Amino acid sequence: MKTISFVLNGKKTSIEVDDNETLLGALRERLGITSVKEGCGIGECGTCTVLVDDEPHYSCLTLASKANGRDIKTVEYLSSSGALHPLQEAFIKSGAVQCGYCTPGMLLCAYSLLLKNADPDARDIKEAISGNLCRCTGYIQIEEAIKNAAEICKCDR
C-alpha cells in the first residue's frame, strides 16, 4: 500500500492505494467517482480519460501511484461551480449525448483542447477527440457541440 496525495477537481486529496492499482480503480472504488469508466481497459476507447495536469490520459493504463503530486480532473470539475459548463450545455443542445458512456471523456478532451486553443478549427477538434470512441452519435454532433462551446467561451472572455 502507498499513500498518495493529489489535487482532485480542485481539492487536496489523500488516499491509500495498492501497488498494482490503476488510477481508474482508485477513482471509482475508493473515491466513488463513477463518471470515469472502464470500456476496453487497454487504452483504446477513451471512456476512462482523466486530465493529468490538464492533459488527457487513460486512467486504465495509469498506475494510481502516478497521481501523486499531480492535478487530476474528472468531468465533475466542469460543473464544480454548481452550473453546467458551456461545453456541457452545448453537448445537450447539439444532441451530442445518447448512451452517455463516452461523454465524460469527450468533455474532458474538449475542455483540455479549449484551454490550449480558444479558436479550434474542425481538424483540431477531430484530433482532440481522436482517442475517444463514441458508438452512438457518429461524432458530428460532438464536433458541433465543441465548436459552439468554443464560440461561447470566447464571448465570455
Residue pair 9/71 in contact by the 8 Å Cβ criterion: no
Q: Rounded to whole angstroms, what are the CA distances from 45 to 8, 36, 129, 136, 153?
A: 23, 12, 11, 13, 27
Does 29 engage in binding with another protein (CB under 8 A)? no
Does 121 engage in binding with another protein (CB under 8 A)? no
User: Which lies closer to another protein via its Cβ, residue 59 or residue 137?
Assistant: 59
Q: Rounded to whole angstroms, what are the CA distances from 130 to 45, 73, 100, 105, 146?
A: 10, 19, 17, 11, 13
Segment contacting another protein by CB under 8 A, of 63-71, 82-90, 91-99, 143-151: 63-71
- Residues in 94-113 that interact with another protein by CB under 8 A: 109
Does 41 engage in binding with another protein (CB under 8 A)? yes
Indicate which single residue of 128, 134, 142, 153 sits in contact with another protein (rule: CB under 8 A): 128
Segment contacting another protein by CB under 8 A, of 26-34, 55-63, 81-89, 141-149: 55-63
Instruction: DSSP for 73-102, please give it.
Output: E-GGGGGTTSSPPHHHHHHHHHT--SS-SS
Residue pair 23/59 in contact by the 8 Å Cβ criterion: yes
Indicate which single residue of 15, 35, 131, 136 sits in contact with another protein (rule: CB under 8 A): 131
- Contact footprint for another protein (CB under 8 A): 2, 19-22, 41-44, 46, 49, 52, 55-58, 60-63, 65-66, 68, 109, 127-128, 130-132
